[in-house]
Amino acid sequence: MDYGERHLYLRIADELKSRIMSGEFNEGDKLPSIPELARTKGTSRSTAADAIGVLVAEGLAVSRSGSGTYVRRKPQLQRLVRAWYRGNRSGSPFAAEMEAQGRRAAWDYASRTAQAPEPIRERLGLGQPTGDVPDVLRTEYLFSADGQPVMLSTSWEPLEITRGTPIAMPEEGPHAGRGVAERMLVIGHPIDGWRETVGA
């Protein structure tokens, strides 16, 4: 593909995106076929296919083998409130937020003891490690709403605070799934501030 063809497939993709965004093509509508695009735009089939590929890659369209390419349903906006620990919520902050949105919350997790890496040690004020001795419980979460994954999260809890207490395992025991703030309060460690690093 030469330089001009490359720009042409992006221009074709941009034109189709504009037509989708303006409502000319609606959810479920069939987009022009690759041969039709090639013919109407005066280009090769591979350039037309690349233009359609851009729409599919950006989640605006879905290709169905032997049928064509269709405008994809716009995904529902997922509002995930940060600073969950303000106020007096009881139970899982994620579950409470999803319930407020009329959605069904669920999560999978895996917990294991570990030795915290340096950035985590600094944030938790752990000091220098002792050999290979684990000093945190690391829990990795996959949160879902209505059966669709919406968020990944990793928590680190110092074992010097939680070891031997009823909250040692975040998702097991009498306080399972209650959220960090509520669980820490059970053992006399109120949380008065937090810092989250969010990415997409």
Q: What is the per-residue pLDDT for 58?
A: 85
Give the CATH number of domain 93-186.
3.40.1410.10
Q: Where are the beta strands (DSSP E) in 47-174?
A: 61-64, 68-71, 105-114, 136-145, 148-158
- Angle among Cα 167, 171, 173 to the nearest 5 degrees reads 50
CB atoms within 10 A of CB 57: 10
pLDDT tens track for 73-109:
766 555 665 555 555 556 788 888 888 888 899 999 9
Q: Residue 133 contacts by C-beta under 8 Å, 6 or more apart in sequence?
A: 115
pLDDT: is 194 or 25 the higher one? Answer: 25
- Angle among Cα 144, 187, 151 to the nearest 5 degrees reads 15
Query: Domain spans of the chain?
Result: 3-71, 93-186
pLDDT: is 175 or 81 the higher one? Answer: 175
> Which CATH class name applies to 3-71?
mainly alpha
- Angle among Cα 112, 117, 121 to the nearest 5 degrees reads 100
Q: What is the per-residue pLDDT for 80?
A: 60
Give which of 20, 33, 29 is closest to 66, Cα–Cα: 33
Q: Kindly compute the dihedral angle of the four CA atoms of residues 53, 55, 61, 63, in this order, to the nearest 10 degrees.
A: -10
